[in-house]
Structure 1
Amino acid sequence: MRPEFLEDLGHGIYAIDTGFQQRPRFDAAYLVVENGRAAFIDTGTNHAVPRLLAALTALGLTPACVDWVIPTHVHLDHAGGVGLLMQQLPTARVLVHPRGLRHMVDPKGLWFGALAVYGEAEMERSYGRLVPVPAERAEASFDAQVLLLAGRPLRLIDTPGHARHHHGIWDERSRSWFTGDTFGLSYRGFDADGRAWILPTTTPVQFDPDALKATVARLLAAEPVAMQLTHYGRIGGSVAEVKRLAAELLAQVDEMVALALSLREAPDRHDRLKGGLLHGYLARIQAHGYPGDMAAAADWLGPDAELNAQGLQVWLDRPAG
């Protein structure tokens, strides 16, 4: 019997609910399996590692079956558990965006940057102590790189916009992208009539709307039938549905940018940004057909409004050029 946190998505792809922040179906790691060999794409935090190892066991695999660990980017909800996981995988290598490689080998910068925001108690609770990856077991990806997993091609491309240290992974077998945060967030609780709802994420500190739009266009050029999001799960089902989701995502990017620019000089800018974003999210899920309690929806989406407000403020204050 498979654990409830492990979901079979077909084509040898499995989503693992990492349990981050004790929020169900909020943060996913992916396991791709081909002819008895495996790759993890994103890991969640240190606290997710027991689930990742349990997923291997449930599928009849051992830690020695894992060839690659591929974080989409080095934000801690995606890559915080990489070092600890690698201690349990005797033959695996880490493949990370070149701008993120040094942070996997020496995570002190990641730790202290997050520590300044969250404080030590929250860091320990949410992430645990970061473990470095031995330099000889980590390498940088490059744009258009093709990695073979037991002969199965996985193509990596540079996908800036959410972060400059972000790459996406194309799986030809399933005709889907593993998008990390580049293609936004889509929580299953807001699905309506089998259709996903999506929102962008501008989490600090490297949001770039023009780069994000170019990245989305590049993802769509492959005509994907699905996107595999870290937050959360597989969305799409057809080329047309993926395009609909992309249009929704990009429309919101434009709205967020317009809101931020209108509040650039406002003395209460953060609060108004946060409030405006949350109001927009709630209006959109209602229009989407979400039938649930709006107060509960506001509680769920409130953290995203907070982080996106922070990200937009960093973008507003970034020097031109």
Structure 2
Amino acid sequence: MSAEYGIHTIDTGFHRPRFDAAYLMVEAGRAAFIDCGTNHSVPRMLAALSAQGLAADDVDWLVLTHVHLDHAGGAGALMRELPRAKLLVHPRGAPHMIDPSRLIAGATAVYGEAEMARSYGTILPIAVERVVEAPDGHEFALAGRPLRCIDTPGHARHHLCLWDARSRSWFTGDTFGLSYREFDTERGAIAIPTSSPVQFEPEPLKASIRRLLDTSPQAMYPTHYGRVEGVERLAAGLFGLVDEMVDAVRVAAGEGGDVHARLVEALRALYLRHLRAHGVVLPTEDILEVLGVDIELNAQGLLVWWARTAPA
């Protein structure tokens, strides 16, 4: 668990090591969690708190970047352990935290009942009086440390990013893509957009990334995985990849037949090309193992977007 500016990276243990991060921010003996993984992640979250000499009632906030289950599935279970904490969430996400039935149904449609039970467990509701909605520009503080949320659609319409003026950094959830440490080279990190179903929108995503850049951030803290610098270079790569992903689904859809399978192959080739250009020397099978879940979900999300927006 790394730390800078009182920010600690927690591996939630979801799927594999260094896949899914949550963050613990500590200021003057008070704490906030940013994202929380699944129900199975709760012991890791509490252990991270204890490692800093803090107790459950020292936590003031659990901030969710959005309500996809790898970020928020454990929120109800974690909040039951944090007696003084409030949940901060996008206004579109708040109803799903108070009554998670639609969230569960949507995720089950994507993953299936068996995978839902294995990976996420029972999603618990959160009492309405503990939920704070964070519209665009919402400001709050952790022990006097100023924090600000902005609305960042593109990956999901219930997505926010959190600005920490102290570290000059954004907690970006999935807005600033996926940046796995396995793909770091002497050139630094590389980021790949995530278009998982069902609310991917390429132009709003690019607009959201531009808003993040407006603050000249020192670093980003994406959920997948951990702190990254060189944000202007990473953003340029994300813009290019979003456009190439859109081109890929347009071509795959235009050829008929098994569009999904063809799009998966196109995304594999696209990401491999970019990773090789970045200097990644891992065997192809290892790269595809790391990206396997993301490629499948990106293909699904691109096809949902294309079906919604393609000209008749």
- TM-score (norm. length: structure 1): 0.95
Partner Cα separation in structure 1 for residue 309 and residue 180 of structure 2? 34
Residue 11 (structure 1) aligns with: 5
Match of 2:139, SS? strand
List gaps (5 residues or longer) in structure 1: 1-5
Deviation at 1:120, TM superposition (A): 2.1
List gaps (5 residues or longer) in structure 2: none
Q: Are 1:223 and 2:216 counterparts?
A: yes
Superposed CA offset, 1:149-184 (max 9, x none): 000001100000000000000001111100000000
- TM-score (norm. length: structure 2): 0.97
Deviates more, 1:257-266 or 1:288-297: 257-266
Output the aligned Cα RMSD.
Answer: 1.1
Match of 2:253, SS? coil
Residue 112 (structure 2) aligns with: 119
Partner Cα separation in structure 2 for residue 203 and residue 82 of structure 1? 21
Residue 249 (structure 1) aligns with: 238
Match of 1:280, SS? helix
Contact 2:98 / 2:125 at 8 angstroms: preserved in 1? yes
Residue 80 (structure 2) aligns with: 87
Identity value in percent? 58
Deviation at 1:320, TM superposition (A): 6.8
Deviation at 1:302, TM superposition (A): 1.8
Residue 173 (structure 1) aligns with: 166
Contact 1:74 / 1:165 at 8 angstroms: preserved in 2? yes
Partner Cα separation in structure 2 for residue 252 and residue 104 of structure 1? 32
Contact 1:178 / 1:229 at 8 angstroms: preserved in 2? yes
Match of 2:24, SS? strand
Deviation at 1:61, TM superposition (A): 0.2
Partner Cα separation in structure 2 for residue 11 and residue 136 of structure 1? 31
Partner Cα separation in structure 1 for residue 154 and residue 108 of structure 2? 24
Counting only pairs closer than 5 Å after superposition, residues 131-280 of structure 1 correspond to structure 2 as 131-193=124-186, 195-236=188-229, 241-265=230-254, 266-280=256-270
Match of 1:227, SS? strand
Contact 1:28 / 1:231 at 8 angstroms: preserved in 2? yes
Deviation at 1:117, TM superposition (A): 2.5
Partner Cα separation in structure 2 for residue 103 and residue 93 of structure 1? 16
Counting only pairs closer than 5 Å after superposition, residues 57-68 of structure 1 correspond to structure 2 as 57-68=50-61
Counting only pairs closer than 5 Å after superposition, residues 291-302 of structure 1 correspond to structure 2 as 291-302=281-292
Residue 3 (structure 1) aligns with: none
Partner Cα separation in structure 2 for residue 171 and residue 319 of structure 1? 35
Match of 2:306, SS? helix
Superposed CA offset, 1:240-287 (max 9, x none): x21000000110000001111122232211011110001111111111
Partner Cα separation in structure 2 for residue 150 and residue 124 of structure 1? 38
Partner Cα separation in structure 2 for residue 211 and residue 246 of structure 1? 14
Partner Cα separation in structure 1 for residue 279 and residue 298 of structure 2? 24
Contact 2:221 / 2:228 at 8 angstroms: preserved in 1? yes
Match of 2:2, SS? strand
Superposed CA offset, 1:197-241 (max 9, x none): 1100000000111101111111000000100010000001xxxx2
Residue 306 (structure 1) aligns with: 296
Contact 2:19 / 2:180 at 8 angstroms: preserved in 1? yes
Partner Cα separation in structure 2 for residue 20 and residue 152 of structure 1? 30
Deviation at 1:319, TM superposition (A): 4.8
Contact 2:187 / 2:278 at 8 angstroms: preserved in 1? no
Deviates more, 1:122-131 or 1:255-264: 255-264
Contact 1:42 / 1:70 at 8 angstroms: preserved in 2? yes
Deviates more, 1:108-117 or 1:309-318: 108-117
Deviation at 1:298, TM superposition (A): 1.2
Partner Cα separation in structure 2 for residue 320 and residue 201 of structure 1? 20
